[in-house]
Structure formats: structure tokens, C-alpha cells
A and B are shown apart, each in its own frame.
Chain A
């Protein structure tokens, strides 16, 4: 044992060491660096110019006063059929089995099928709901109950008709990989209000993983801090969150205190502010070891809430993730994205889309209702949608549809969108939008607008030019703003 240790015999070693380190040795916490830095900051920072807030995740004000502060994006990967869910087409039903009009197919490429394939009528009944009279399929009984809170975009269109490029486009504004995802752009622009949680959280809940993989929530050329962090709702909520086997909470705390003390001492000698940052990231990691398990533990949610979502504690599901999304945004998380890859109905359309709706309809509606009840819907954007739509032409026998980029439906809620409207119309076949078409870039521009950004000015300089989510496109769709 060390020569000085006799002085402290019989005392608790933990307090002993810390006290000794801090006082008896005359070491202050990174004294030199801290005073230097604080002075440097303080001298010019009263109040600090925006430019000086250089914590990359410090909350930042956008270009103008925002309507929305956060986003929950329910990404229905695989591309749900608008013709079975949102876009009722009696004419298509009448023409079931007949070939589509030739002029419709001019210049049209389909992924799998010969475009000149028979038309397939929608498989389900539609009815109008709410005061707004939104037309929804019988597959969405729960969504129907919040119809007046929705903004349904029925003439969305996109550029890509293969899954991976289309998902990447929907999430990053480009079909090529390597661009930052929307969640990372938003976090880059607004920073985070969560103290012990990541700013951008991702769930995967479908029977499959997404075609676009982790690039769907990647940060591209933006700094790594802006990438989405996958959460898991069984096992460890975040990778490597649990202490190694054999380490109890106290051993972990002892270890972290020792690391902090030694790092602090080094900071005093070396003076590198990076060490101070590391001290704080280790502290945050430690806090998160408590906060993340608490967050994902939904067992203490009231029974009524669990039932409203259809979530079961301890069971990973889309429903549980929706509930967690609400809990996350309550704790200041900026962007939550739930990927439910299940909607690629080339075949078994009827059976699989029914199942998908059973898995998602109740929880999606519950999320809207829950946010509204808690007063969060007004400044939270909820998005529900996939990467493209499905063909009105049949694929296979009579129970499947191919990929279709020209026209599809998504819905939005809250966050400054005009509620209770259906926006956009398609032709008799749901093939092309005929009125109020909204491109992916327009959706992005509009969402950024509600978050307080001029989408042309939320930029990041890379490779000698300013990049942005909307690339060189995008129009804010004023008509859907509240």
C-alpha cells in the first residue's frame, strides 16, 4: 500500500480517495483548463452570440419561430398499398381484370410486372369518417377515430421504384447513399433537448429489416453525433448499456469515479478541453445506464394507456415502440423514427395487409390521440407513410401489386399541419396524381418549414458546396399548413 495511506486507515476508501484527490493533493477539477476556457467564453459570451454555442447538440433556434419542435415518423417500409387503405377507386373496381388505358402506360416502367397487366380493383370497403369526412378503408378502424386530426396527402410521388433507393430518397432526399437522413438534419439544425438520451432514436419493428439499412438513419457527411441511435425494446435498450457480468452498480460507480479522477488529473496537466468533454460523456453514459432502462420500461404506464396502444410490457412490437416514441419526445428527444418493414405485397395482398393493419392501426391512432391528450400534438409532427405506392395493375394471379412511384398516400398529424383535410387527388386508377401533387422533396421542405427552417438555408458545407436535405428541389406546400 502507498506511503500516505496510513493517514486514512479506517475510512471509507471511496470518499477517502476523492477527498484526498481533490483537496489534500491540491488538485482542482481541471483547474487550469477550466478557468482558461470559462474566461475565454465568458469574456465574449454575455449574451453569447449564436456562433459561440459550439456544443453540437445544444438546443438551437431555427430560422424563424417554429410550429413544431419534434418529429415522430412511422415509416411503413415496403410501401403500403394506397388503393387498399386510403384511395378509394370505384372505377378501378369496375374495370377489374381489364387492361389499363394505353395512354396511362406511356413511358412507364414497372419494377416486376409487364405494365400492360390487368387492373386489380381495391380489395376493401371505404367509408367517410369524422367531421372532415376523410375516406378510409375498413382496414383502419382506429385511424378513423382520429380522422379529424389527420392531414392526408393523396397525391404523393417519388423518383425511385426499387425499395432501397426509394427509402433512401424518402429519408435523405437522394436516391444515392451517403446523404444525411432527415432525422440527422433536424438534429443538426435544432440540437437536442434530451439530457440523458440521444437526440435521434430509431426503432425497427417489422418482420423484416429495412431495405435501406442503417443509411435510413445515418448522418452521411454530417458529424457522427447526428446519426440515429437504434433502440431495442427487448434486452438492452441500447447496445452495450449493461455492465459486464460480475460488475454490480457500485463496482461500476467505483470504476467511473476512478476514471473520472484520473482523467481530471490529466486534464489539469495537459489542459486539453477534449478531456473535459470525455469526462462529461462518461457521466452521461453512466446516467443513461439508468435513464434508458427506465424509459423502455412501460410496465408502469396505466393499463388504459397500454390498452389504447395495444402494447404489452416486455414484448417488442410496433405498438410498444409507438408508446416509447411518446415517452421519448416527452423527455426531449428530437426525432423518433419507427421502421416497420412489412408492406411489400407483391402477393398475398389481402392477408398480409390485414395483418399489417392489425399490427399498426391501433397504435398509430393511439399515438395521435395520446399526444393530443397531453398537449404534445400541437408541436409534434407525426408522419405515417412508406417509400412509394402500389400499382393498380395486378401482379401474379389476383392478389398482389407491384411498386408504383407515381402516386401514393401518406398522412401527417400535428405540428402545424392543417388537420382534418385530404389533400391531393389521383385519377380513376390511383395511377397518377391529378391535383395537388406533393413530391418527397416538397414534403421535406414543408416539414422543415414547420420546424422553423427555410429548407434552402438549412445547409452543410461539404465538398465545396452547401448541401441540404432537399438538394436543389422542394416547395413548401402552403395549402396544408394550419
Chain B
């Protein structure tokens, strides 16, 4: 449908993209009565009978027949004349999309010769009803190009085209399908859709929009699709891979799906507020991408149209509201092996001690009794004020009295904590630092390695009764369970630049250039620690004292707790917390991990185990030290309560709710735990009404432009009738319980997405020619009925990949960190960007990676992809616009990568294109479009080249500049080729790369 005129932007609009019009209302009237009655009452959200903006009733404002009709290019087009299918539900509380799909029988149709399998019957039967005929099959070149663009997102090479065209075997097409499905690029092509739905980006969003490492999750998606991980398992691992028994690293990485939410690191934010924002985002994503339900309405109130109550929203919310936002190390396969070897080696060595010393248990018990005696009593302080004095960063008080950092991250800042105590004669202060799953690698610090540096701990004590009585506490000594050895950096001669770190005494030496640090090396650095600071004089006030601590830090401490004692002789507890907790209970009551921790510590205290201990220490040093990180979910053992939030406001918590699922969907199986894993199992249950329908609909949308349900994000009561309701159910059932066998000797597995792809691309429906006939424009301009094959401009990423592939520049490497593709540098500096962002433009082959790998910065979307409708990743997107705008033309004509591609294609023409202008032009044209140009087209290009040659000869154009973009005369051309050839072909190559046909799946 559409349009065009002298307006600036024009797109091939979908019906739903345009302001609603009276015509649409008319087409709605064609829908069965029930379908309309089911729409919820309009007020106040709906604009009367007509859902859009301008008022159809006010004809005096009707747009006059405009000048656009007079222009030679003016086109108007009827809105969809194809009436929606007669698939409306009966007017009851039932809604077809909320009932589990049941496999409908494939309809009997007349043209058995046209059909390839049952899927075609559904299409044909509808065409029959509309008295439309399917189109003939597309030619082989068109088919292979379509297939390649659909299955791997890249055009076929000429060799691939020739091989297919010349292949006379009956399974020639099948072989191409299998070749492409087995290509590692298949995961990139289809992964992109999932990344849209999962709002993937490489930055955190909001104001700071710092880079994040999320690409391991992205690579997991590619890999999962390439190995055809069944879709149910694909979802289970992403929603709850960490909760699977003996979860592998890749299954934990998969949970990054929900973590794709934005993270606000703006100064002075409340971390809890933005944790809740990301929870709402996760619910929205779950609804759009998996359930096909618009659940986010119920964040604030009961859903207006679907039977989802606000309480049910928060019950669903409760399933995913029990995690810490974890940043995990990512181990390469080799590192994983090394790590496993270390853990195994330590276990073996400890077992060896137990074997050689069978009396170890008694000896350890004796030691425990002794050790338990001499612990001072500590009083944990309850802070009434905490945070950084400037207000940039906030701390959250945890139930165990510790303070946890979140939000804005800083270095060289200070935590200020105020607490009151009635104790007098306080002799020592204890600082415990704790690991926490929300800190990088568990912390206890917030550096990339989860570390911190405590420069100075200062304490002021004031009388609560008389505020003028106050003094600074001086510390005589400090001990810690662990510290790095003293290390000094900076030049000896320059006192100012010298920095020391290591022993805990550096934290009370009055010098901010020295700090206590705790890096115990890979595998051992992310543990709890404690330090005790001994006051020179006991302190405290009768009637109570206000203690004001200042913790000056380099890298920030992420989680800590302060305690005091009045007992003399306090020192840091050398025992790990787990071991200390274990020894406080009787041996038979100790947990397995507690016992293990206790043993591991105890053995280090036994002199005769020295050689064992040394051996174990050496094994430990082999622990790998991965640099890579990835964001995952970490399930909390102590459940975080979920409350219904009044009006969706996190500051107005209401009733507590238990995890549960909406009653209008399938019931909860009793055997499932009410955890994220249980939720994932419930979502992938065979009885789930929307899960399979939603994914087959999106796959369909990608092939044919519009889904069977035109709103892939919403299958609720407001949904427009599907174009082929039975087909939707048939496909959903065929995905879950495959019966049709194509190309495979064995039966396809359940939930196989590759099976779904095979079904579609093997169909006669898919293989039709995409040429338009007048009847198509009149009856079905959007091609919902599929009386012709799909003809669609490819997605933005593929527009670019096509240019790179055709020019031979494409670097096809799969996976890895995102790429800083060429982009105008000023976009990443103020005022275009809030802060400066380091965009180190890739050089060498990396520059020409697929657009799939281009770094996605949320606040600075990559301009070419933005203009070609790629989403920013702020929220889940399951349906892109497909616009057609002048900005796109400017990009493909003038943007760096496209121009470099044109120049590279010109070079290829000289090398591979044959002996003369005509053959080279024809060769390049075929590379780009898949077909030979006809005589007229060749002539047109020849004339273009001839004119450029003339202008080059006359000096109007500079051959070096045109052909290379620089003043340097190209020296490395083949013998016989001239810079003028290269320049003239550059002009022609750019034309070829800019053809509609080149960027269109035909």
C-alpha cells in the first residue's frame, strides 16, 4: 500500500504505521461481528470509531487532491483490500490465542500439482476463496538469492549461483537449503531478529551509556541457532540456564537475555529505583518477545483489554525478581579446562592429606576447640546515614547490617557512614568487606576484577549529648586477614607521584597515597576479608557517641560492614567466614561447603603439612585469569519479597505477592518449583498457548514481510484477525510435534527452528515469483495472501553486508567483541554525545565485519543502521519499520563503507570481471543482483562508463581521487588496467550497489 509525493521522507508503510483512517474502519467492518465486539470499550484511549488522529467525520478538512498526483512519480495505492480472514473468535470470554494450538487438518484443495507440502494447502485454500492464482515459480537465480538472503543474510557468490543453475539433480534445491542451514552465518542472520527482541546493545544506556561486555551472550545466540538448539531449550537456558542442574558456563551466559536491560549510572540515582525500571523492562521484553502479550499495561492497573490483573502482573514479576545483577568472568574453553584442572588438583591433594593422615578429623576438632575460645565480642554498627558525601553514589543497607554500593561507580571517592553507639571504652573497629553477587566477579570491590583500595579509614567521634565534644580517633595499629605485599610504584625521585599499596596499616598512616589492597591472584581474589583497627585510646561517650567514618578509596569497596569492640587485644580474624561459621557448630551439623572451607583453612595451620600446602598453593597459581566479563542472573538464596506496586510506583509498595501465573493462560503444573526455572518450564509447556505461535509468526514475518498475525508483539484480545489462523496453529504444532519430514532421514526434533525454516523455504508458496501483477495491487498490495513471492528491501544490516560481500571486502569471521565500524567521530563527542565515548575506528579486516558485529551504543545508534530502521536496543523490538527515505539514499551513496565497497568492487571488476567494459559491468551487476543485466541495462551502464572515461580524459575528474579516495595513484593494478579504468568502474560499481534490486530480496 502507499503513496509517494514530493514529501521529504517516504516509506512503504504498513497499514498500522499510518494514522488511522476511515478506510481502515471500513475494512474492519468486513471482519466478523464477534471480532469487533471483543475490542474493549474505546474510551478514553480510543479516538472514537476511528483510532487514528485526523477526524474522518470532519470532511471540510479533507486533504484536497494534491499536487502529488500531478508528479510523474506520484502513486497512490489502495489500502489493503485483502480482508482479514474469517477467523474471529466467538463473542465470549474465550480468545483463540489463549487456547493451546491444536493441529488443524490441512484443507483439501484443487491444485495438487502446485503443492509441495501441507503448508501450501492452507495458502492455496485461501487463494481459492479469493479467486486468486498463485504465481509461477521464480527462476533459479532469484530463488538462490532469496534463499541465501533469508537463511544467511548474504548474497550467493557467482560460483554458488552457477553450481545451482547447472545442477540438474532432483534435489538441487534441497542441497542448497541444507548448505545454507549448515552455514555458520545462519546464526548471525537469525540471531539478529532475536537480538532485536532481546533489546541487545553493547552499552548500558542512559546518560553515561558506558560500554558493557555482553557479546558472549550474543555469541551464545549465534551458536544456539547454528546447532539448532530446540526453541524450548533455547528459552529455558536464557530464562534460567543458571538454575539447571550442573549448569555449564554457556547455560549461565544464556541468562544474559534478561540482563540486556539498560543500567543507569547517572550520578545521584537510587539504584533500587532503576533496578525496578529494569524489572519492568524485563517484563515488557518477556511479554513482547516470548509470550506475545502486552503485559506491561498491568504494571499500573488491571489490563484494559486482556484478562490480566495487576496482581497477576506482579505474581509473574515475582518469578524474575529474585536475582542479583551479576557480572561474571567469562572463561574461554581453554581457561575452563585449566580452571577445572586447578579445582580437581586441589581436591586430589586435600584427599591425599586425609588419606595419609587418617586422624585428621580428631586433630582438626582439637584445633577448632582452641581456636573458638579467643574471639572478642563485636557489636555491629547500625548506620543511620551512609553514602558518598557529594551524593553521587548511594549505599543500600542489607539485612545483615552491611552496606551495598550500586548505581554510579567512582574511583578516588569516599564513603561516609554515620552510626550511633552507647558503648564506651571502644578499643577497636572492625571493617568487614563482603562478596556480593551484584558486584563485578562478586567483589568485594567494584573494579573490573572486583577489587578495591582503601586509602584511609578516618573516624570522628562526637558526643550525642554535647555535639561540641568531639575528636578524631587515632589508630595505633591495624591487622587484616589478608593484604598484598607492599608495593610502591612511581619514580623514587618524585615524592608526589609515588603510590604504595599492600598492608592494611597503609589505611591508617594518614597518607592518601598509600592503600590497603587485597588482590590474592586469580581464583582467590574475590573473597570476604576483614581488618581490625586498634585505637590509640579507648573512645566513646556517656549517653552515646556519634561515630562518623570516612573511607577514602581508590577503587570503591562494594559491600562492607563496620563493628566495634571494647575488648582488648582484638585482631583480624584470619579464618574465612565460611570456616568461622562452620566451626561454631557441631561437626555433624556442618554443611559440606562449610566443612570443606574449614579443612582448607585448618591444613594451612599444620606445620607438618607444609609440603602439601606448598603443592596446593602451586596448583592454585595455575588458575586462569580471564579478562572477559558477561552479565548474567544470579539467583538469591534468600528470597527478595515482591509487592504489588500501586500505580506501578516503586515508592508505593502494596500487598506482598507470591510467584504465580495469569489464570487465563495454562495452569501451573504442581511438580514445578516456583522459581525462574519453573517459569521457563511453564512457558515452554506444550499447553502454552502463545509460545510456539509467537515464534512461528515472527519467523513468518521475516520471510514474508508481515506475520500471519500482523502484530507479533500482541496476541491478546486486541489482535487483528490472523490472515491464516489454521496455518498459524498448524505451524505451531508442527514446530512442537513435527510430522513432516524434509531433507532428513531421521524425524526432525521437537521445537527445531531449522525444521520450521525447511518447511517454509521448501513450500511452493515461498518459491513463487515476486513480480507484481495488477491484481496483486488491487486485491492484496501487502501480500498477506501470498499470491506472489515476497519482495522486500533487506534489513539495514544486510544492506551493508551486501555491499561488503559483493565488493569482496567482507571479513566473514564469526563472533567476538563488537566492532567500531567507521563512523563520524564527532558523534561520540559532546555535544552529540553526553560524554566522550572512545570509538576507535577499526582498521584492517575488522573494519569490514558484518554489521551484526557493529558496536551498538544505545545513545548514539550507528547512523547507517538507524536510518535503515535498526532499533536502538532501549526496549524489545519484534517488528521493525521498513522505511524508504532520502537519508538511506544518502547513506548508500556517500557513507564511507559503501564508498569503499564501490571502489573495491571496481577493483574486483578489473581482476575477475572479464576482458572488457561490457563483461566487467555485467559481472558486477550479476554479483550484486544475482542475474545478468539485459542488453539495455548493459548499454546504460556502458554509457555511464564511457562518459566518465571522457570526463577523466578531459581532466574534469581526477582518476586517483575517484578510484581510491586519495591523491595517490593506484600502483597495484593488474597489468593492462589503468587508474582511469578503476575510476570509471568505481562510478559504475557505486551505481550498481545503489540499485533497488541490489538491496531487495526479490
Contacts and interface: CB of A to CB of B under 8 A. Distances in A.
A298 to B, nearest CB: 19
Determine the main DSSP class of B at the interface with A: loop
Interface residues of B, number: 167
14 contacts: A38-B74, A55-B2, A163-B266, A164-B206, A196-B8, A199-B9, A211-B266, A246-B983, A265-B940, A281-B885, A284-B6, A285-B889, A459-B53, A464-B294
Contacts of A252: 893
A102 interface: no
B9 A192 contact: yes
B391 interface: yes
Contacts of A199: 8-9
Contacts of B675: none
Contact of B962 (A251, A402, A468): A251
Nearest to A63: B55
Most chain A CB within 10 A, of B4, B22, B385, B861, is at: B4
A230 B942 CA distance: 38
Most chain B CB within 10 A, of A64, A199, A213, is at: A213
B53 A453 contact: yes
Contacts of B390: 112, 396
B62 A214 contact: no
A205 B832 CA distance: 8
B946 A1 contact: yes
Nearest to B293: A464
Contacts of B965: 244-246
Contact of A215 (B55, B716, B859): B859
A162 B407 CA distance: 12
A111 B391 contact: yes
A147 to B, nearest CB: 29
Contact of A464 (B718, B773, B885, B944): B718
A284 B68 CA distance: 14
A60 B889 contact: no
B771 interface: yes
Interface stretch (A44-52, A87-95, A350-358): A44-52
A227 B871 CA distance: 12
Given A111-B391, A177-B205, A198-B9, A16 B943 contact: yes
Contacts of B11: 56, 223-225, 277
Nearest to B9: A225
A456 interface: yes
A176 interface: yes
B640 interface: no
Given A56-B10, A240-B890, A265 B937 contact: yes
Most chain A CB within 10 A, of B3, B824, B831, B874, is at: B831
Contact of B778 (A40, A255, A460, A468): A40
Contact of B69 (A36, A41, A288, A458): A41
Contacts of B656: none
Nearest to A457: B47
Interface in B975-991: 983, 986-988, 990-991
Contact of A258 (B719, B791, B832, B944): B944
Contacts of A464: 294, 305-306, 711, 713-714, 716-719
Given A112-B390, A199-B9, A464-B714, A246 B777 contact: no
A29 interface: yes
B943 A17 contact: yes
B787 to A, nearest CB: 13
A244 B268 CA distance: 45
Contacts of A246: 957-958, 960-963, 965, 983, 986
For the complex of A and B, the 10 pairs showing the least CB-CB separation, nearest first, are: A213-B859, A51-B21, A112-B391, A41-B76, A51-B23, A246-B962, A457-B47, A271-B772, A246-B961, A178-B875
Most chain A CB within 10 A, of B9, B288, B834, B946, is at: B9
A262 interface: yes
B694 to A, nearest CB: 13
Contacts of B881: 223-225
B264 interface: yes
A178 B713 CA distance: 14
Nearest to B207: A211
B176 interface: no
Interface stretch (B624-632, B811-819, B993-1001): B993-1001
A299 interface: no
Interface string B880-912: 010111111111011100010010000000000
A247 B986 CA distance: 10
Contacts of A109: 270
Given A54-B3, A213-B833, A456-B47, A47 B62 contact: yes
Given A14-B947, A63-B54, A223-B881, A54 B18 contact: yes
A459 B19 CA distance: 8
Nearest to B879: A221
A58 B66 contact: yes
A209 B884 contact: no
A143 B196 CA distance: 46
B46 A191 contact: no
A304 interface: no
Contacts of B205: 177
B574 to A, nearest CB: 39
B45 interface: yes
Interface stretch (B111-119, B219-227, B555-563, B948-956): B948-956
Given A13-B950, A36-B777, A164-B266, A49 B77 contact: no
B13 interface: yes
A127 interface: no
Given A21-B936, A61-B63, A459-B45, A176 B280 contact: yes
Contacts of A178: 874-875
A322 B267 CA distance: 31
A5 B940 CA distance: 11
A218 interface: yes
B440 interface: no
A44 B69 CA distance: 13
Contacts of A466: 45-47, 51
Nearest to A4: B939
A457 B861 CA distance: 31
Given A14-B947, A21-B940, A459-B46, 16 more contacts: A36-B778, A47-B64, A49-B62, A56-B11, A56-B13, A61-B54, A164-B264, A177-B874, A215-B874, A225-B9, A225-B10, A240-B887, A240-B894, A275-B996, A339-B831, A460-B52
Nearest to B267: A112
Contact of A211 (B75, B206, B963): B206
Contact of A194 (B8, B385, B891, B894): B8
Contacts of B963: 246
Interface in A94-114: 109-114
Contacts of A51: 21-24, 26, 56, 79
Contacts of B719: 464
B72 interface: yes
Contact of A34 (B75, B778, B863): B75
Contacts of B942: 1-2, 5
B1 interface: yes
Contacts of A284: 6, 8-10, 886, 889
Given A41-B69, A58-B68, A255-B944, A213 B936 contact: no
A240 B862 CA distance: 13
Contacts of B55: 63-64, 457
A182 B44 CA distance: 20
A226 to B, nearest CB: 8
Contacts of B46: 459, 466
A41 to B, nearest CB: 3
A143 to B, nearest CB: 22
A285 B886 contact: yes
Nearest to A49: B22
Given A62-B54, A246-B961, A457-B48, A271 B13 contact: no
A274 B948 contact: no
B956 A276 contact: no
Interface in A240-270: 240-248, 250-252, 254-255, 258-259, 261-263, 265-266, 269-270
